[in-house]
Amino acid sequence: MAKSCHVTCRVAPDKAVAQGLILKNPALACRVPATHPKEMQVLTQEEMQRLLIQARENDCFELLLLELSTGLRRGKLLALRWDDLDFQTGTLRVERQVQRVKGDLTVTQPKTKSSSRSVILPTSVLDILKNYRQAINSRWMFPSPRKEDSPLDPAAVRKKLAAVLERAGCKHVRFHDLRHTFATNALEHGMDIKTLSAVIGHVSSATTLNVYAHVTDEMRQSAATKIDRAIAKAEPQLEMVAPKKPTRTSFQAVKGKYRKPGTGCVTQINDHLWEGRYSPKVNGKRMARNIYAATEAECEEKLAQLIRKMKMEIATGLFAGIPQS
Determine phi and psi for 278, rounding to 5 degrees. Answer: -130, 125
Helix, strand, coil fractions of the chain, as percent rounded to 5 = 45, 15, 40
**pLDDT number for residue 169:** 93
Region of 224 please: left (phi>0), alpha (psi -120 to 50) or beta: alpha
Helix (H) / strand (E) element for 205: namely helix 205-211
Q: Which CATH superfamily is domain 45-198 in?
A: Intergrase catalytic core (1.10.443.10)
State the pLDDT at residue 114.
62
pLDDT number for residue 241 = 46
pTM score over 0.75: no
Q: Per-domain residue ranges for the chain?
A: 1-36, 45-198, 265-316
User: What average pLDDT values come out for the chain (325 residues) when binned by 10 residues?
Assistant: 85 92 90 72 92 93 96 95 95 93 87 78 94 91 91 94 94 93 86 84 77 60 71 56 66 80 88 92 86 93 90 76 46
> Distance (Å, rounded) from C-alpha 55 to C-alpha 38?
27
Q: What is the pLDDT of residue 236?
A: 55
The backbone torsions φ and ψ at residue 98, rounded to the nearest 5 degrees and listed phi first, read: -105, 130
